[in-house]
Chains A and B, each alone.
Chain A
Amino acid sequence: MDIDYQWVSEGAVLAVMNEQALEVAAKGALALYLRLMKLELPEITEIVPGAGSVLIFVRHDLSDSGHFISRLRSFGPIEPVISGEKCRHHEIPVAYGGESGPDFDDVARQCRLSCDELVRLHSSVTYTVAFLGFSPGFPYMVGLPSLLQLPRLSKPRTSVPGGSIAIAGPFSGIYPQITPGGWRLLGRTEVSLFSPTSSPPALFAPGDSVRFVPV
């Protein structure tokens, strides 16, 4: 897919995937992110992937902004990927439903699934971490079966427990710590997703693959 580049500030370029399907765009953004990380261009200080875009922070003393954009454009179109060389696979144990998943029954009802079918469907796929955002360590994963793609809650919760496995739109995610949140909560995991004193601090990185394992 083609990529549109635009300066969003004098210190950052936003690369937007020219693609209508979110999952495909996310995998294109992931591909660009992995490629730029590997190239280690000296002008680039930080790279932040998004659902269909990559935000590229550059040094403020970049002498020729036009030249930099030309260089990015010269890389040409990008092919979507689901993984990269240094990406890891994670198996995440999940306690589905009950108190661990306060929206589980409602999701099952809306999707016309039995509880067993919902657990099986959500845990049957291998997800790809497209990017992290919202709060430290929070993974936005693509691969959620289309049957389970429901909108966010109309009324977000003021407090979502850490470890909550959640879905909203095309994404599955996990809340690393207690925050407000509007996603639908299916279950909970004990796995720690983020610790500021660990190296690296986040369990997940863009391009990692994830399977949920019912316990």
Chain B
Amino acid sequence: MKCWMNVLRPGALSSIQDLGREGFRSSGVPLSGAMDIWAARAANLLVENEPTAAVIEFTLSGPTISFNDDTVVAFTGSRFQVTGPRAIPWNRSVYVRASEILSLDFTAQGARGFLAVRGGFDVPMVLGSRSTYLRGGWGGFCGRALKAGDAVPIHDVGPIVFRERRLRDGLFPRHRNNVCLRVLPGPQWGDFTSQSQETFLATEYQVSTDCDRMGIRLQGPLLKHVTQPDIWPEGIVTGAIQVPANGQPIILCSDQPVTGGYTKIATVVGADLSYLAYLKPGDKIRFSPCCLADAGMAWLKREQDLREGVI
């Protein structure tokens, strides 16, 4: 029987994402994908999907949904307020009956949460991924955020057998509104005055209201360039921290363009990228220097934690 999810209320910004669109950056196609790939993968593991299955990423206020058939879901990421009669536990597999309404409201914690459903959302694969490229209006569900009235198809995996699964306590630290992100220097670390380099590592930055899936703009003391902020356009990794002429850093996120022409003072290490998903305006960030070996170890540790994190 065909399965789908009904969207009764979409929430502020809910879109289909998976682990991102690899392999087309040299054609100018951004990675996109879930802002916290660990939470997306964990949600999929809880409902016994492949880690690459498409999930819903929801932002600031969550959706109200129902399913046309019994199914199993899981919610990960920051906890959102639950309204309506059905309780929704977080970080565990949840059995949902046909037509039962799950209703999420705002979050008092971090900005985003993730929803996986048994079988994964069945939207067309575009360039090897089901992620929505919102800026381009393609991929995911019709290339856009979900709207009231949408019926999002789900892969049919046969009769539902419910198995209780949950995440180990502490696998995902509770969101705090002040975080410390480990960074590697550069690639244009040397283009900044030594005073600005010190300032960058000593400042408690504030997240501005200008933050989205492309980038998170920070407010703090101005950073000064030795010569100028422009560089020849070059490839960018997610988590790169760009500083244009106005001296205010921007942490580049999943939907960022693949090349850019501004100096980058540092890059958030891969293991800390997931914190970017939860930052809200007013949150505070400090940066701490990290070496390449430690960055590599940190990534491997997160992988191991996830492998051992579902019980």
Q: Which residues of A contact B (CB under 8 A)?
A: 6-12, 14, 16, 22, 25, 33, 45-55, 57, 60-62, 65, 131-138, 140, 177, 194, 196-197, 200-202, 205-206
Interface members, chain B 9-54 (any A CB < 8 Å): 22-30
Cα distance A129–B136 when bound, in Å?
22
B271-300 vs A, Cβ < 8 Å mask (1 yes, 0 no): 000000000000000000000110110111
Cα distance A205–B24 when bound, in Å?
11
| Residues on A with beta carbons closer than 8 Å to the beta carbon of B133 | 136, 196
Minimum distance in angstroms from B127 CB to a CB of chain A: 6
A–B Cβ pairs within 8 angstroms, 12 of them: A10-B270, A14-B234, A22-B232, A49-B26, A50-B235, A133-B233, A133-B257, A135-B28, A194-B28, A196-B29, A197-B126, A205-B26
When C-beta atoms are compared, the residue in chain A nearest to B236 turns out to be: A55
Tell whether, in the assembled complex, residue A133 and residue B23 are in contact, meaning their CB atoms are under 8 Å apart.
no
Those 6 A-B pairs whose CB atoms lie nearest each other, nearest first: A133-B259, A55-B235, A50-B234, A48-B235, A51-B232, A202-B27
Known: A136-B136, A201-B27. Contact between A9 and B257, CB under 8 A?
A: no
Tell whether, in the assembled complex, residue B240 and residue A8 are in contact, meaning their CB atoms are under 8 Å apart.
yes
| Residues on A with beta carbons closer than 8 Å to the beta carbon of B310 | none
Tell whether, in the assembled complex, residue A137 and residue B184 are in contact, meaning their CB atoms are under 8 Å apart.
no
| Residues on A with beta carbons closer than 8 Å to the beta carbon of B24 | 136, 201
B239 within 8 A of A: yes
For B, the interface residue count at a CB cutoff of 8 angstroms equals 43
| Residues on B with beta carbons closer than 8 Å to the beta carbon of A48 | 25-26, 235, 258-259
Cα distance A51–B240 when bound, in Å?
18
Tell whether, in the assembled complex, residue B136 and residue A52 are in contact, meaning their CB atoms are under 8 Å apart.
no
Minimum distance in angstroms from A162 CB to a CB of chain B: 11
Cα distance A12–B267 when bound, in Å?
11
| Residues on A with beta carbons closer than 8 Å to the beta carbon of B236 | 55
B162 within 8 A of A: no
Cα distance A74–B130 when bound, in Å?
39
Minimum distance in angstroms from B246 CB to a CB of chain A: 15
* A8-B237, A9-B270, A133-B233 given; 19 more Cβ-contact pairs under 8 Å: A6-B187, A8-B184, A9-B237, A11-B237, A45-B23, A48-B258, A50-B232, A50-B233, A51-B234, A60-B300, A65-B292, A132-B259, A133-B259, A135-B136, A135-B257, A137-B28, A196-B136, A201-B27, A201-B127
